[in-house]
Amino acid sequence: MKAKHVSILGIPFIQTTMKDFISLLQQRITAEQKTFVITANPEIVMKANNEEEYMNIIKRATYVTADGIGIVKAAKLLGSSLPERVTGYDMMVHLLELANEHHYRVYFLGAEEDVLARALNNVKTEYPNITIAGSHHGFFDWESNKIPAEINLTEPDLVFVALGVPRQERWIDEHIGKFQKGIFIGVGGSFDVLAGAVERAPERWQKMNLEWLYRLLKQPSRWRRMLALPHFAMKVCAQKVKGKK
């Protein structure tokens, strides 16, 4: 069955729950269908609207999920619906659990070398049945490296790319054509959380959809990034008005 989408400022978000999306990805792993997943929040949507190249990358992805309560609320304002947030970190954890259950092969790309090492050690402890197909830190020569060749040789089922926005999406878009299979997902700073280097918002903050505020309080330097939120809200309102005409 063809997936349904909600268009928000030109970006097609898949209408799905986390549970259903993980099930969909499991089906694609079994069928060895190459897949490019982007988890997009309002900041990413605004970046795409300001940068044509990045917008084109997002449109070439297999799926775009709603990583942010702002996306879910925007869909509702526009008269559509997105059931819930389908965030990058939570998706990664669910996929690690799935990989542990089915003995999938996983490749990790990104973060500082020591952070990556700690993250991998924690993965080995928490998910002992996963095969870590390979890994590489995120500080490499973009034009000259053997990472794609290594990924091809190790044949992973899952590839987590933690290079930050927009670098991770550009890396996947540039290289995914070289691979025969695999689920490729940009996961931002998730390796830092896996490593214990960054604390995730407590569950009560997550349930109140205030994870963004918790991160801002912990990292005040993020305030510039938060400026995208009011611009996003105004553009969504403009899309709603235009749609009524």
Residue 105: closest CA among 138, 154, 153: 154
Q: Answer for the pair 191, 110: CB distance below 8 angstroms, yes or no.
A: yes
The total number of structural domains that make up the chain: 1
Distance CA 180, CA 34 (A): 7
Question: What is the identity of the amino acid at 21?
Answer: F
Neighbouring C-alpha atoms within 13 Å toward the C-beta of 94: 17
Q: Answer for the pair 112, 138: CB distance below 8 angstroms, yes or no.
A: yes
Distance CA 120, CA 130 (A): 11
Residue 76: closest CA among 22, 15, 4: 15
Distance CA 70, CA 9 (A): 13
pLDDT at residue number 237: 87
Pairing verdict, β 105-110 and 63-66: unpaired
How far, in Å, are 76, 130, 207, 227 from residue 105 at the CA level?
A: 38, 6, 32, 39
Residue 103's domain comprises: 5-244
How far, in Å, are 47, 63, 192 from residue 78 at the CA level?
A: 20, 20, 35
pLDDT at residue number 34: 97
CB atoms within 10 A of CB 159: 25
What is the full per-residue pLDDT of the chain (245 aa) written as tens digits?
A: 578 999 999 999 999 999 999 999 999 999 999 999 999 999 999 999 999 999 999 999 999 999 988 999 999 999 899 999 999 999 999 999 999 999 999 999 999 999 999 999 999 999 999 999 999 999 999 998 999 999 999 999 999 999 999 999 999 999 999 999 999 999 999 999 999 977 665 676 666 565 655 555 555 655 456 566 778 888 898 888 876 54
110: β partners = 162
